[in-house]
Amino acid sequence: MKAKIQHAELSPKTKQFLDTPPRMLIGNEWVKSLSNKTFDTVNPADGKVILQIPLADKRDIDAAVVAARHAFKTTWKDGVSPTQRAELLWDLARLMERDLQVFMELETLDNGKPLSKSKYDVLGAINHLKYYAGWVTKINGSTVPVGSNKLVYTKKEALGVVGLIVPWNFPLMISMWKLAPALACGNCCILKPSELTPLSALYLGHLIIEAGFPAGVVNIVTGEGSPAGEAICHHMDVDMVSFTGSTVVGRKIMEAAAQSNLKKISLELGGKSPNVIFDDADLEKVFENLQWSSFYNTGQECTLGSRIYVQQSIFDKTVANLKEKAEKMTMGNGFDDHDLGPMISEKQLSNVMDYIDSGKKEGAVLVCGGKRIFANLRDGYFLEPTIFTSQSDGLRIVKEEIFGPVVVILPFNDFDDAILKANNSSYGLAAAVWTQDLSKAHNFANKVDAGTVWVNGYDLFDAAVPFGGFKQSGNGKEMGVNAIDQFTKEKAVWIVL
């Protein structure tokens, strides 16, 4: 049975949602799983069960695909004009603004992040939705000159039915990174939130119905990667899968696409991003930024600068500054709006503790942290911000994505050494450089192998700017016009005059 929700600070609308037995959204109907099985979603701040959520299997995915395909063929593709589609997206954005507080509370309850950080995420999701609402009426083809007796034009068309598989670290925001452009392009969607954080997606479903989206255009299924996620990826009537998560799962999705209908895929995968600090940087700005580029979201973010490379002459000073700030950061229940919330689960905390043990055994120097926090947080999944230093790039904690509040600070000598070390990774998601030398900054951006490069800043995002990684950090781009390209197919039409 679910635990009684005790948070007096929850708004009446949030309480009402939590008091309603959760269902999946298929064809604008709220349904149980066909197996009638459920799973628990847990508050990571106290380890207590919030709700039992329907556990989807292959049959539920089949039903969602049928609903989506029917909507695409009968209603959404030709029966709703681009202007009407844009109006629906705008209406949804306005409803999300109206219920901002509900989304904030659900994100904090389900994910554990501080309430102010949840607000930032929800506002980011709304901004993405508005951005792509503006794109709907501007998805154009082109004419191609091929001679005076022929006319060739191209048109961009919706793919059809797309599967959107979302992680737990930014549940609503990443859902909207995928859902907004997919809908703007005219696709029908099957959204599968992480089984660890399904609440905000399910609440979004209520607003999708309220906004007036036709039945089957958006379907929301809840369940685990196996079998629900696998069923989406192997389905012969799903035209694309957009996935954010681990590189290991990304490989399985590529295999599933090859083994099924060669569906289009977009993968935003892991990262081990280098944060490179030269001795000519504005250290005041660096130190203002460094703790958040290291530990934001309790380190559960693929772009964070978990490899910090510092020029030798300022190495000790930088280590001391980050240590001082890390030790002052507060952790606790997200509703109390501490600096950091808990890890997402006991399993994730255990994985991170294994990495910390590995760092110690392989010879890294533990500067601070490294311990699970108990005391009044005994039942939650809290871990101290942790800093290692190392002279070696070969350690597991330097090479592998940890996905927790753990960073490694390493020294470098000169520009060439910095580039060599920054690129010494199987990942290529993001990178940052801190320097007041404009030539050096541009040269670094040119030579570092990463999909996003920040200069004298970190973790900067905008709906208009493409985001995606190189190497084993994935393929395809989210945001900007690139996402329009991802969720459409281009057709060439020849007319003989």
478 Cβ neighbours under 8 A, 6+ residues apart: 177, 178, 181, 242, 266, 268, 466, 467, 468, 486
Which is nearest to 408 in space by CA: 262, 310, 492?
A: 310
User: 171-184 and 115-133 helices cross at what angle (nearest 10)?
Assistant: 0
Give 166: exposed, middle or buried? Use CB within 10 Å, 0-12, 13-18, 19+: buried
Cα-Cα-Cα-Cα dihedral sign, residues 50, 53, 55, 56: negative
Cα torsion 380, 383, 384, 390 to 10°: value is 180
Q: Please confirm, yes or no, whether 268 is among the known catalytic residues.
A: yes
**Which residues lie across from 493 on neighbouring strands?**
153
Q: At residue 383, what are phi and psi to the nearest 5 degrees?
A: -135, 135
Of 195, 268, 384, 401, the active-site residue reads 268
- DSSP labels, 395-408: SHHHHS---SSEEE
Instruction: Give the SS3 label for residue 363.
Output: coil
Task: Kindly state the DSSP code that residue 330 receives in the 8-state scheme.
Answer: -
Helices 100-111 & 82-98, crossing angle to 10 degrees? 70
- Give the CA radius of gyration of the chain: 23
Q: Is the peptide bond before 227 cis (omega within 30 degrees of 0)?
A: yes
Which residues does the annotation mark as catalytic? 268
